C-alpha cells in the first residue's frame, strides 16, 4: 500500500481552541478509515507545520481525495507527499 506524509497546520480558528485538537484528530481518523487508509504515526511538530502524519492509502487517488477532504474539517490545512523507502530508491537507480 502506498505511503504518504501529510503535513498539517491548524487554522487560526483551531489555534484559538487547541483543546479541540483531539476531536479534530478523531474526525481525521474517521475520514481515513472510511477510505481504507491508515494513520500509522502522528506527531506534533514545531515549526511551519503543527502536525505530521505518516499514512498508508490504497492508491494515489485516495491521497488526493483525502487531502481535499481534510480541508472540509475546517481545522486543518495540509500538504500531502508520497513516500518511498530509501532501499526502493537505491534499487531503482
Give the pTM: 0.83
Q: What is the pLDDT of residues 46-59, one digit of tens each?
A: 999 999 999 999 88
Transcribe 40-76 into DSSP letters.
Answer: EEEEE-SSS-SEEEEEE-SSHHHHHHHHHHHHHTSSE
Q: Which range is most confident: 4-13, 18-27, 49-58?
A: 49-58
Domains and CATH numbers, the chain: 3-92 (3.30.70.100)
Amino acid at each position: 500500500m502506498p505511503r504518504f506524509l501529510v503535513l498539517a497546520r491548524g487554522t487560526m480558528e483551531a489555534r484559538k481552541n487547541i483543546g479541540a485538537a483531539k476531536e479534530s484528530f478523531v474526525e481525521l481518523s474517521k475520514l481515513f478509515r472510511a477510505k481504507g487508509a491508515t494513520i500509522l504515526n502522528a506527531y506534533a511538530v514545531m515549526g511551519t507545520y503543527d502536525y505530521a502524519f505518516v499514512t498508508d492509502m490504497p492508491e494515489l487517488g485516495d491521497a488526493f481525495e483525502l487531502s481535499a477532504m481534510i480541508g472540509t474539517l475546517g481545522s486543518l490545512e495540509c500538504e500531502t507527499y508520497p513516500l518511498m523507502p530509501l532501499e526502493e530508491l537505491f534499487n531503482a537507480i
